[in-house]
Every structure is written in structure tokens, then in C-alpha cells.
Chain A
């Protein structure tokens, strides 16, 4: 049982808190069941292994009243997409059994692979609310297999863009629309399976909402939803008010945008003004040519993600919690891409950096709650081709865990999907049973955690070899692979280790960069390189930053790290001043 904070007590409203908690848990559990349904019925590993989706519940006024703990990168997308879709189409356009589909990154989405489906919930003939989810489809057409064109300069190269349209009307599938979509995806059978998993899970959620309304009464549930939002708002305001007033700034960089080999600057100013927080991204670079631009949904999501990391985790996650947080993301910049700029990497590479930046800005006043920077690259690795064993086309989107930043109270986590993902690492067995890729090595990288009183988490190394008779087309979108762009430390902690993607052609003795072997512009971001039988690819994920002076680390902890191979003997002596007994 968690301790009830003073802020929580002060925020209590009129309905009995126990009943309110039960109804809030019902909302969350409806969303969780929606997600589990998707996980168990989808075709692609990114759903049933990666859990790259979010599930949400809305009232009829498009306030978000419930959310399950799935993918934080979709926090804002799931918040905005329903509201803006309903505004655009008009609330009266929704009929029972309709499902609206859309993946437009300029209409609240996080990036184009993520498809939202929205279904109205009617009760006693009246619109009561909406159930919705956002899921990352593994293949959506465009110039790169897997929908991650790391050198895209326009949205049209990133995949099929779909504005809000009814894919289901009155529980009848619009097959003309389905055919149009599947004709533009490379793996249409997976699209059919994954999208139907999303749509089917909405029906489960709708049924559970109606059961809740039957059990508790629509009037009470509606009133409780309103009170829960007010409760969350009061609690969040109290949390913000506890932070000293002032403006706190932070700057960080992406090493390149995939198209031009030059760093890209991001700037944030977090203002605490009593009970409200203003997060202003003015000063960030103009929109770039490559796909690391963030949509508004990504930038807002990163702010909410950071704030939820820094405030009481028991605050119910509904629209009320978001009300005191104001975001300024100037259009036409790297934090708010405008049409037709590309943005597919904004959700994976930019989002975690923006989370770290909000955290870093507030570090001087919230040192006991913040962490040093994490690896902050999803290490996106996309691949596809014709499987030599089946003759069928396959495509997959893969992301790696990184090292997380250390905190004042502990080391950073190792090999963990980033704060924007909350996804799972894909097991080796999935690669080997579904795709012609044999895993040679999957390990933690020694010395990749930034040294500190508390050490940054370790990155991972994965080496895969292309199987017999196979030809695999690969694309990548990594960051933190060079220069001064490693995960930064705090209070004297050192930066984390670099990430990398390297290749070894069949018969060669060592790994080299993709620019060296294939002439790509960027070593970390490229599209559609063909690997053949016996070629090997190495994926290194970056480590997290350290916290505090490494010389202050407990010698027993250093000895343990050396014993486990997390820190080499040489680094232990150099960074920690360690001497073996």
C-alpha cells in the first residue's frame, strides 16, 4: 500500500474516496484489458512482444478519463488525437459501431507509423464517451522497409498518411478503404492482423464500459470521472507549487538529422509560476530536413512524461493532471514540425532527449527526484525481405534497450527500453524463428555506464548474422554515437558510453561503419542497405550518465562492478580511484 501524501489528502473532493478509487481503477483496468487483448491478438512482434501501443478512455466531451501504463511516447498523442478528431469530424458524425482511423502526424499523432483507432460508446441511445488506442504498425509503406526512412525529407517518403476516416461504420468494415491501405503496405497480412487487433480491443473496452455503467449507473460514473479529473488537477497543482518559482533552462543536441551531418540544437525553459508550469521550447532549431523533427504530440508527450517522472506517481492519469502544464512549441521548429516535414524519428530519438532536458532543467531544484541522461536513442533497426524458408515478404521494426541515467539514490537501470517506450526487449528467439537472422551475441557492454557515485546503466550489444540464402534490407535510426553527444551526467557524474551500428561483410575480419562500407551520409541514420548471407550487423545501445563524483562511490560497489564485468579494471582505477585488495 502506498503512503498517502499531503497533496493527495488536500485534493480529495465530494464523492467517497474509496468509491472514487474503485471507479478510477475500473477506468484503468478497462484500458489495461484493451491492451492485453491487442497484445494477444496482434500479428507483429512490436505489439505482442514490444507492447508499443497505448490505450485510453474518454468522456463525451473528449476529456481523457482513463489510461493504462503502456507507451509513454504516446501520452500526448492519445490525449490530443481523440479531441482533435472529434472536433474535426463533429461529434454528431459518430454512430454506434463506428471506428475512426488516423495516423496523421500533423493532427496530434506522434509519428506516422502510429495508427489511432477511436470508437464511440453509446449508452441508452446517448453518446457517453470514446474508447481509443494508438498502436505502432510495423510496416506502412514509404521508402524504407519498416516505415523508418532515416533520410526522409518529406512525410510522403515516410509511409501512407491517413487523415481521420471511418474504417468501420456501424460495425461494417469499409473494405474499399482497407484495400487502399493494404495496397500501400509491404506486409498487408500483418496490417490486417494488427489493425484488427486494435479495432477488436475497442469492442472489448466498449463492453466493459457499458458493464461499468450498468453496475454503477451512468450518472455516478460520469460525475466520478469529473471529480477524478478535478482531483488530479488539484494534486498536480500542489506538486508544481512545491517546486520553487523560477525559470530553469537547458540545452541539448542531436548529433545529426540523418540528411545533413551537423548537430541540431534543442532548448527549453521551464517556468514554475505558482501552481502552473510553462514549458517553453522557443530557441530550439528551425525544423530540419531529416526526420528527427518532433510533432507537437511528441513534444507535449515528452513534457508530460518528464513531469510524471518528477511528481507523485499516484496522481490519476487523466486530463485533469495535464491542465496545469502549459506547453509552447513554436511551429516550424524541431519541436513542432509543420507539413510536409518528416518526423518519424522525433518520437524515438527526440522524445527521450526532450524528457531528459525537462529533467535536467529542473535538476537544480529537484535533485532528489531527477536522473542523469539516459541513452536516449531507441536504436531503431528496421529490416525486411523475402524469407528464404517461406518465400513470403516480412518486415520488422526493432528497438533496443539502453542504459538509464543514475540518480542521487541509485545506479541507472541497464538494458531497458527508454522512458518514452516502456516497451519490452525483443527476445533472441523471436528473431531466429520469424526472420533469417541468427544472433551471435546479446550482452551488456562493459564500461558503457557513466561513472559516478551512482553509475549509469549499461547499454547492450547485439550481433546478428544474415542466414543462408537470405538478403535483408536494413535501415537504422540511432543517436549518441559520436562527439560530445553522449548521455550527460549530473553533479560530477561522467557521460555514458556511445551507441553504434556497424557492419562486417562476409569474409571480413572486423566491423566498420556504414559510411565506410556503403557510403551513407550518417553513421547512425540510413535507409535501405542490403545485407547478404553471412554479413553481420552489430547494434550497440548507449549507456546512461553517472550521478555524483565517481570517487565517492562505495568501493564495495566498484569491486562488485569489476567482478561482474560491468566496469573494467582499468576504468575502475582511472575513474573511481579503485585499488583491488
Chain B
């Protein structure tokens, strides 16, 4: 797959032609295990999902469910003890897992960029913010822009996230938390990537700033026709900004579908309990259905369905067999043997 040299300017992106039916990123049957002293941790087990052009996909789940590992895998940033045992990650048709280190390095940031969890620490404290953004331009677009053109471009980036241009000459410790977050987003946009991964970009920010950042991200994504993968444990946040949602548990994906569908008609017990574990001001009154217990130890994951120790519906089959995907129509699928029992539970709790 030939990569055409993209001319770098925000205007270009904004008039990018996107075809929402064409897939940009396809994660296909990804399996990844970590090797540690005590043994092998099954961190990602047969995860598959697709991100189309211009689409925003959310990955939701508890801490440790593997969503960050998936994100880091897309950029191949996992440490050397992470082994990919099966699957492909196809970006623009090309399998990223089969690339050499140098080839992958050239694609980072230019094709896929990432906004990290706790992005405020993404900044090196001893260099100016502008210099750290300029680094990416120097690395990926050597010789394409002059020094002044780079400066203009960065100022445009900053204004698109609502930051004044002169902050480029400041050091990270001179930014507030929210400003640092915006700056990180600006840096992610610097090389006009086609896909941005946002890993918990708003945790550790106060609610008001959180809201602003979310709106900002959504706006940029729509304006520039970028695809986005949004990772969070906060399902409410995900619901606001994504087109599709994948629910992950203990390294596996348990439900996937359009956001509206998964939200209004959750079919996996885990998804259901996740959604209903917080009370809502609107909507019908329900008894709270909290999730008991803890996620399993991935060093020795439970047999069969990994959720069965905590599942209210667990049957003998669940304890021994791995549930296959069931297609519920309209792109909504679930991996559960007893998904039909979920609506009944919902009704029971409403009484």
C-alpha cells in the first residue's frame, strides 16, 4: 500500500474526503500476552473491531480490562515482554504488526496519534511546549516546511484548541491542567493524523474543564474528518462523543455496536450492570444493581466466559464454554449465552 505524501496544512484536512463506509482501522482477532516472572498474563484475547473513516469508536471497561493495551498496540508501544500471538491490526489495509521497527516509527504520529491518560505528564518539563511540538514536524516532515511555516502551523493548531499563540514559548509548568490537556491535543493534531486515540483524556480534570475538552475533541473530529478511538472507564462520557462502542472485560470484547443501541438496549450482563450501576436523574426509577466482586486475575483467567464469576445469569455452560458472537442486527453484537435475560432483569429492577 503506497503512502502518498500528505501536504501539511489544516485546510487540507478540513476538506478531506471521507467515506464513512470505508474502514480505516481493522483490529482482527488480536491476541496479546505479557510475559512476567510469575508466568503469562492473557491481556488481550481475541479482540476485533473496526473504525471507519470519520468514525468515533469508544472502548469502555474497568481498569485492567485491556483497553489501554489495545490502544498502545495500535502504535506498537508496548514493552518487549508483550507478545502478539495472533491477529492483525490493519491500517489502510496494511498490517501494522508485520512492520519493522523503523517502518512503524515513521507511521507513528503521522498516521495515528495518541492523547495519553494523564496527558498532562506527556510534557517534558525542561523544554518549551512549542519546541516539543516542533519536534514532530522535524521528524516527520523534514524539509517540507521552513522554520516560520512551522511556527505559523503551530499557532494555528493552538488557536484551534483555544490557546494563545505565545504560549508556545512557555514551559509546561507554566500551563494549567486544562491548558496542558488542550496543548496535548494540539500536538496530536500537528502531523494531521487520520486517527487519534484518546486514552482517558479527561480523567484528573475537574468536571467543567472535562466538558469543554470533550466538546473540543468532538468539534475537531467532525471538522477535520478524523477518526477517533475514545477510551474511558466512564461510560457516560463515552456515550456523548462516540458513534460506536466496544465494551471490554478482562481482555475480551463482550459487546459491540452503535452507541445508541448499546446504551438503550444493552445485551451483555456486564454492559447492563455497568450502565445501571449509577442512578440517573431522568428515566424510569430502578433499583441500583451494583457490580459485585473484582475483575479476574489475568495470569490465571477463569475458564469459559471470563465474566461468569460475577454474572447473575451464569450457567454451567458459561463456566466451561467461551461464548461466541451473536449478531443482533444493525452492527450490534454480543458475546453471551444468555443475553435474552437482560431485558427481563431490567424490567424486574424497574418495579
**A and B assemble together:** no
